[in-house]
Amino acid sequence: MPGDALNRDLSSIVPGGVYSRSEPNYVSALRLDNRAILHAPDFVVRPRSRGDIAGLIDYCRTQEVAFTVRCGGHSPNGYSLNSEGVVIDLRAIHEIRIDKDVCHVGAGAIWADVYNRIRTQDEGHAVIGGVWPGVGVAGYLMGGGYGFLSRSHGMACDQIVSADLVTSNGRQLRVGEHSACAQERELFWALKGGGGGNFCVVTGFSILLHQAAPRMFAARIAFDFERFEEVLSFYDDWVDTLPDKMTVYGAILAQPDPRHPGETFLALRLTAVYNGDYSEGLAQIMPLLAHSPLTTQVYSLPLTDLVSFLSSSNPDGDFGVYVRSVMLKRGRLSQAAPILRKHVERIPKDAVFVVWTHAAGAINRFDARTAAFPHRDVEYAFAVKAFWPVDYPELLQPAVIWAYRFFEDLGRVGTGAYVNYIDPLLTGWREKYYRASWSRLVRVQERWDPGNLFRFQQGISSQFEPDHPDEDDLDLNSLFRTFAT
C-alpha cells in the first residue's frame, strides 16, 4: 500500500499517534537495548487505548499490513521491531494501579515503573519482576520471567491473575484461570511462558503481589576465576541446602581488582538475595564466606532499590549484543565446569558476561498444567552475553562465533533454552524453548490466530530453522531480521 494512504488510514484510527521516518517519536521507538539492531519500519503507531489497538489489528488484518508489537524493546534481537511494516508501540499504555495484593499494569510499562509505584505506594509488598529495571513488563511476563524472588514464589508468569488483550480478529477480551470458556483458559495458559509476539496483543496484566520484608539482605561475593572449580563445586552442593527465600545468582565477568587499582580481574561473582531479615541472610552465607573470597559487599535495602543497584553490571550504552541460554539440571554443574573454563579462557576480553539464574524452589512447584513455561526441573538458567561497541562492527563476528561455540558445547549437558533469550542461531529452538508445551501452544496459535497475523522468525507458527553446515560460517543475517524469509 502506498505510504500516504497507509499514513492517512492509520491516522484515522490513532489520530496524532502515527509517526513516519522524519519524526523524533519514530526515532525514539527504534532504540533497542541491542544497539546493533537497526530496523526501519514504515510507520510507528502509539495507541492510547485498547480500542485503538483493536482498530489497528482490524486494519492490519483486512489490509494485510505486516506489524510487530513493541513493549520494553529488550528482545535480544529486536523482534519487537521490523523493517517495512508497522510497529505498534505500546509505551503510552503504562498506567499502574495497586489494589490490595494485585497490581494492574498496562502492557507498555517497564519494570522500573512498577518498582517506582510500589516504592511510593506500598513498601510492604514485592513483585516478581525483571532484574534489569528497563525490561518491559509484557515481553518478560510472556516468556516466563525470572526475578530475585522466583525461588520464593515462582516465575513472574505464575503470578498473572488475568490478562486484557485484543485478539487477531479485533475482539477485546479478559482471560484468566476462571474464564468460563475453555479456549480462553487455554489462551491464558499460553500467555504464561509461550513467548511474546504470538497469539494476540496483550494490553494489560493483573499480577499478584507478595508480602515482603521492607529491607532485604543482599551480598556480592567475588572469587578469582583461578579458583573457579573449587568454589563452583562447593556452590553446587551448598545451594541445595538453602531455603527458597535465598537465591544465589552467579556470573563470570571482569570487575575492578582491589589488588591492582585501575585494573580488572576475571571474577566468579556470586550475588545472594535473601527474602527476609538481614541477620538471617548473613547467617545463610557464612559457609560461602568461609571460602575466603577476594571481595565481599553486603547490603540491606528495599527490593526495589536492590534491583537497580545489582543490575548495574550490564553495560548500558552503544553496544551490540548476542545472547544465548542453556538450562541446567541439578548435578550438571560439574560437567559444565570444564566447558565453562575452556571457553572463558578464550574470552574476547571484558566484552563478555556469563551469568546464571539460580532457579528451582517454588518455580518447580508449578507445572505445565498451569502455565506454558516448561522448565520446571532445572536448577540453573545460564546465559552468555557477548558485547561489542557498535562503532567497531568488525568485532561482531568473533564475539558471536565465540558465544555460539561456547553454548553449543554447554548445550550438550543442558536441558533446553530460555525463550526470553531468544536466539535465531539456535537449532531445534521449538523443542529447546517449549519442550512438552510445544504441541499445545501450536493448537492455541491455530485457534486464536488462524490467519497467522502474529508471525515472526521464531514465532509459534514459523517454519524457520537455522542451518549451520559449518560453525565458522554461521549465517548471521537471521540475527538482524524479524520475519523469516
Ligand X SMILES: Cc1cc2nc3c(=O)[nH]c(=O)nc-3n(C[C@H](O)[C@H](O)[C@H](O)COP(=O)(O)OP(=O)(O)OC[C@H]3O[C@@H](n4cnc5c(N)ncnc54)[C@H](O)[C@@H]3O)c2cc1C
Task: Please report, as ranges, the residues that interact with ligand X according to CB under 6 A.
Answer: 33, 68-76, 79-80, 90, 107, 130-132, 135-136, 138-140, 143, 145-146, 196-197, 201-202, 314, 420
Closest approach of ligand X to the CB of residue 33, in Å: 4
Closest approach of ligand X to the CB of residue 137, in Å: 7
Nearer to ligand X, 90 or 285 (CB): 90
If DSSP states are collapsed to H, E and C, what string results for the chain?
CCHHHHHHHHHHHCCCCEECCCCHHHHHHCCCCCCCCCCCCCEEECCCCHHHHHHHHHHHHHHCCCEEEECCCCCCCCCCCCCCCEEEEHHHCCCEEEECCEEEEECCCEHHHHHHHHHHHCCCEECCCCCCCCCEHHHHHHHCCCCCCHHHHCCHHHHEEEEEEECCCCCEEEEECCCCCHHHHHHHHHHCCCCCCCCCEEEEEEEECEECCCCEEEEEEEEEHHHHHHHHHHHHHHHCCCCCCEEEEEEEEEEECCCCCCCEEEEEEEEEEECCCHHHHHHHHHHHHCCCCCEEEEEEECHHHHHHHHHHHCCCCCEEEEEEEEEECCCCHHHHHHHHHHHHCCCCCCCEEEEEEECCHHHHHCCCCCCCCCCCCCCEEEEEEEEEECCCHHHHHHHHHHHHHHHHHHHCCCCCCCHHHCCCCCCCHHHHHHHHHHHHHHHHHHHHCCCCCCCCCCCCCCCCCCCCCCHHHCCHHHHHCCCCC
Nearer to ligand X, 131 or 232 (CB): 131
Closest approach of ligand X to the CB of residue 4, in Å: 27
Nearer to ligand X, 143 or 154 (CB): 143
Nearer to ligand X, 216 or 231 (CB): 216
Nearer to ligand X, 73 or 374 (CB): 73
Nearer to ligand X, 93 or 232 (CB): 93
Closest approach of ligand X to the CB of residue 456, in Å: 6
Nearer to ligand X, 107 or 288 (CB): 107
Closest approach of ligand X to the CB of residue 106, in Å: 9
Residue nearest to ligand X (CB): 196
Nearer to ligand X, 231 or 359 (CB): 359
Closest approach of ligand X to the CB of residue 421, in Å: 6
